[in-house]
Structure 1
């Protein structure tokens, strides 16, 4: 289920890196045009890896064709991890990708990640995101009415509450995907969120959306969308996270996993949702969709 390789990011193999010091960018903020992006010029902090880690946070606005980012030294140090959240608006052209990468394996690993990312062919990804967003709109939204609809869900009736919603998760340490559906407040704008998380313990993907077409929150619809994204939403990075207990390095290779077809239903409780500690936006969106 993971990204086609355009370049590799190799996270630290152990919780304690073998080098004594680590160079990380110091509060290096930048904005770039995706049509002609250039890496920023930064100053660096040199501290032991036990005291700091390097972090990159990037927000890509596909509609405006721009990227905003910050590279910073994190103290205390955090464990290596990678998170990516793409939010497609189903009511406008807006699509945003937020990426967070924490690393400790090499000096300036934050800058190297950012530089490689900015060198990618973003024209291709801008077109790709636009096409994916339109596919999602066609599959999930009935443009004739954005009012309440009590037939879009195979589970709870959402008449008078607005859109129906669904969440679909797949984790490397779980035997089955987790699926659930619920009702969404009528004042909420329809969105589709696709999240990926990688750390030294497990990997996972999560799909969260609201919609108003008949049957748009069925398990089969969620699985069809997951297959669509895995085939057609190719991001300009691939992440390989070796196990926490690994003590040797190896040449990374493409990580691919097929989407499981079996499903499991659970109540729409926050305890069943993935915890993305490093991306506060996801927590906000969960609260926004489920509890309003």
Structure 2
């Protein structure tokens, strides 16, 4: 159905434009598969529709819009009364000229939307880069939130000692980001991609990291008191001397995590995978809660460690 409609609309276009479309079809199919563009050293995400519209020259956008609207106008008018002469055709088109001009203007505006979006992303990165080395910058927080909301990758972000308290970075891509000693207290990092991120000494107190991916991340000495780490991937992460008092680690994967000296007092470890956790016996587990689904290393005795078994 859609293929037939596209074919009919194509037949309404001038022959020269149809030939131009056919000549560039293969190029377009390759273009729309490229999801990113590099702008001043930054990788910016592009939507497939943005890529396709952006590749069309302005004259093609206007001409195709006018041709399609003209064809639809004549089809509608022909249903009301016969168009027996060129004069009737021109009269019908002139009668709808304002609508055709308005829609053409809207299409040109939409064509420039990707350029405006990329420029907005670039300006946001300039704000972030200019705040490097500064502890507090509300403009940086706003810029990061805007980029994350629009799905722009924040790989390798330099946030050393940055004050990012209560920042909203849900589903943000922060692979290998440098967030050492950063203040992320109360931050929303649900489903964030923090693989291999540097978070040594970071403050993540009361932060929400539900379903986040922290595989291979360095959290040595980080403060995760009362943080939410439900269903988090922490495989191969470094949690040495990290503070996780009262943290919720329900259904989290802590396989191959180094827990040497970690403070897990009162932590919620229901359904947590600790089968291959390293140095669990050298961590503080007093009053930590576990259940029958919690998986411990072979030979580990949770009762000896002072843990509490859930009654349900």
Q: Pick the structure with greater CA Rg.
A: 2
Higher relative strand content: 1
Tell me the TM-score normalized by structure 1.
Answer: 0.22
Higher relative helix content: 2
